[in-house]
């Protein structure tokens, strides 16, 4: 099969002809139709995340169909539509796993990082971690929902009682979550780079209550803020914009260092926290929710062999909405 392979960190992906992965008894073999391109892929490629499997096939927002079913798998069949998310497996025996926090397992496996992902014609997934997809959203829309959508929603659930919420950064995850939050009756205030006119216009079109530059003050104090951009300097900015008792949540898997800031910004029972990975239930719950919503995603598509070009768009800040590789 064709695959875009990361052979060493800080190097471009290379197109290789590699064997179709061998199917284990508890796995599904997936024929990949599309695979979303995520900022996490760029972090892995650039060495920001430690010790990736090498050589590695990136990609953890996979939409495809089941090509073959492992001998111990009972509830899937050939031809089923399937999504493959970031979470790829855990030990199932530690305190985290036994308390439904497998996202924190010290032995967690992650698609496109510690096991091969979807920048290829085929990939495998443990059947328990695959997500059954309805026909509501077409492939190029469903793919970004599997990571950008799910991880944004996990962060949102930490502040679900908040009414007025700030979004710092407005890429793939934020432009999905804005629509979900609006549908749930929230007001969203978007902070983005001064020069990002396209992102600002998209945020306004999708229903943001206010849009401004990253360092600016919103027209009112906020109940909470979600940090999508991997910029540590946004933490003090966000703390200065939220009410007492409010929460700032870091959404990304990697972030630059947070600078020192005066204690008065944190005082008043303000909270700083993060989300890490996702659980088996997160993806299933989120996909059931968005199946009831008429989402309007801004998606730019690339062929498999243009994967490096897509990742460069993210690196250079030229991302408006979501990026997806098409293989079928």
Q: Which CATH superfamily is domain 159-274 in?
A: NAD(P)-binding Rossmann-like Domain (3.40.50.720)
Q: Taking Cα atoms as reference points, which of 178, 62, 141 lies closest to residue 299? A: 141
- Please tell me the predicted confidence (pLDDT) of residue 319: 77
Q: Taking Cα atoms as reference points, which of 198, 248, 203 lies closest to residue 221? A: 248
pLDDT in tens, 38-86: 999 999 999 999 999 999 999 999 999 999 999 999 999 999 999 999 9
Map out the domains of the chain as residue ranges: 2-147+277-326, 159-274
Question: Scanning the structure block, which residue is given the tokens 């490096």?
Answer: 308
- Rounded-to-integer distance, Cα 206 and Cα 160, Å: 20
- Please tell me the predicted confidence (pLDDT) of residue 195: 63
Indicate yes or no: pTM above 0.75.
Answer: yes
At 101, list the tokens: 């926090």
For the chain, strand residue ranges (E) read: 2-6, 14-17, 27-37, 56-57, 62-69, 81-84, 87-89, 109-110, 122-126, 131-132, 164-168, 187-192, 210-213, 222-227, 242-250, 271-274, 299-303, 322-326
The residues of the chain scoring below 50 in pLDDT are: none
- Please tell me the predicted confidence (pLDDT) of residue 113: 98
CA 116 to chain centre: 17
Q: Taking Cα atoms as reference points, which of 194, 186, 136, 193 lies closest to residue 161? A: 186
- Please tell me the predicted confidence (pLDDT) of residue 198: 86
- Please tell me the predicted confidence (pLDDT) of residue 320: 84
Q: Which CATH superfamily is domain 2-147+277-326 in?
A: Medium-chain alcohol dehydrogenases, catalytic domain (3.90.180.10)
2-147+277-326 and 159-274 share one CATH topology?
no
């Amino acid at each position: 099969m064709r695959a875009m392979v990361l052979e060493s960190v800080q190097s471009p992906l290379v197109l290789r002809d590699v064997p179709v992965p061998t199917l284990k008894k508890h796995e599904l073999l997936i024929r990949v139709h599309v695979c979303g391109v995520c900022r996490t892929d760029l972090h892995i490629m650039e060495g920001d995340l430690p010790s990736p499997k090498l050589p590695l096939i990136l990609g953890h927002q996979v939409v495809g169909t089941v090509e073959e079913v492992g001998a111990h798998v009972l509830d899937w069949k050939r031809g089923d539509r399937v999504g493959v998310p970031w979470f790829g497996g855990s030990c199932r025996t530690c305190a985290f796993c036994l308390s439904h926090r497998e996202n924190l397992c010290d032995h967690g496996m992650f698609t496109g990082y510690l096991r091969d992902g979807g920048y290829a014609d085929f990939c495998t997934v443990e059947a328990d971690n695959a997500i059954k997809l309805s026909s509501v959203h077409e492939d190029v829309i469903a793919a970004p929902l599997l990571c950008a959508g799910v991880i944004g929603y996990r962060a949102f659930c930490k502040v679900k009682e908040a009414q007025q919420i700030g979004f710092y950064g407005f890429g793939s995850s934020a432009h999905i979550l804005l629509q979900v939050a609006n549908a749930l009756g929230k007001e969203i205030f978007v902070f983005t780079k001064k020069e990002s006119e396209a992102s600002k216009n998209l945020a306004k079109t999708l229903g943001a209550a206010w849009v401004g530059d990253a360092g600016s003050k919103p027209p009112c104090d906020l109940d909470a803020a979600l940090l999508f951009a991997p910029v540590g300097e946004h933490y003090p900015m966000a703390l200065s914009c939220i009410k007492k008792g409010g929460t700032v949540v870091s959404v990304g898997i990697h972030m630059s260092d947070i600078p020192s800031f005066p204690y008065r910004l944190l005082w008043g029972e303000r909270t700083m926290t993060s989300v890490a990975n996702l659980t088996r239930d997160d993806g299933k719950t989120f996909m059931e929710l968005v199946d009831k919503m008429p989402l309007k995603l801004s998606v730019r598509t690339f062929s498999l062999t243009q994967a490096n070009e897509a990742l460069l768009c993210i690196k250079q800040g030229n991302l408006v909405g979501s990026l997806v590789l098409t293989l079928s």
